[in-house]
Amino acid sequence: MTITTNSTRREWLFVILAGFFITNAVTAELISNKLIDIPFSFSLFGREVGPFVTIIGVLPWPVVFLVTDVINEFYGKQAIRKLSWITAALIAYCFIMVIISMSIPANTTISPYTATDAEYNKVFGQSRWVIVGSIMAFLVSQILDATLFAWIKSKTGNRMIWLRSTGSTVISQLIDSYIVLYIGFILPGTLSMSAFWEIAPTNYVLKLIIAILLTPLIYLGHWAVRKYLGEAHQNL
């Protein structure tokens, strides 16, 4: 009975983590068409730096990487790799549904509060390059994150959770930040290189800061998972 209970707990925990992982990834892709200002500036060598501009999709990504590390810790890199491929396919499916929805004319006669075709398409009409860049950046960064996490853990064992979590995130988020903007905006010519070098570093640094601030939650997550699974975590 104990084995069955432990097995069920493990399965349900994975379902919850996978669902949270997929939801945040898809959400980040859908909202990344919006640019926001970071009202922060400072003086460097007598030169004013800032304020900065980034994409709103930067907000859910640190959560994605945090969940990635928890899954990697308790289920292994193969589990997160498979989940990443599944999530990439679901992101592609989501974009396909959005494209189909854009081709269907809107009804604006019943309520004045519904979106017109122009309004709807402006929000969801990301270019095909943005879609390709988003999926490519997601896959590369996730697989890299899982690989680095497993490599650092092989060197440190169960010690220094912060190192394998933050260390893998530092590299993977760097790759993610630059790939999505380069493929999605530079290749089709919708963003200048000067704007690219302004937005990409800001995007990366902001995600990195959020990830570092979430470090205590990594330890909390590990404690919660071990407490929930009990002895079952030793078999993960």
- What the block records as the tokens of 189 is 């010519």
Give the pLDDT band (50/70/90) at residue 155.
confident
Among the listed residues 212, 206, 199, 219, the one whose alpha carbon sits nearest the alpha carbon of residue 168: 212
Comparing 34-48, 128-142, 175-189, the range with the smallest average pLDDT is: 34-48
Pairing verdict, β 42-44 and 47-49: antiparallel
Question: What is the per-residue burial (b if ≥16 Cβ within 10 Å, else e) of 204-220?
Answer: bbbbbebbeebeeebee
Look at residue 45 in the predicted model and tell me its pLDDT.
62
Say what the pTM is: 0.79
CATH architecture of 2-235: Orthogonal Bundle (1.10)
Q: Which residues pair with 52 in a beta bridge?
A: 38
Stretch 156-172: mean pLDDT: 80
Look at residue 90 in the predicted model and tell me its pLDDT.
93
**CB distance 222 to 6 below 8 Å:** no
Return the domain boundaries, the chain. Answer: 2-235
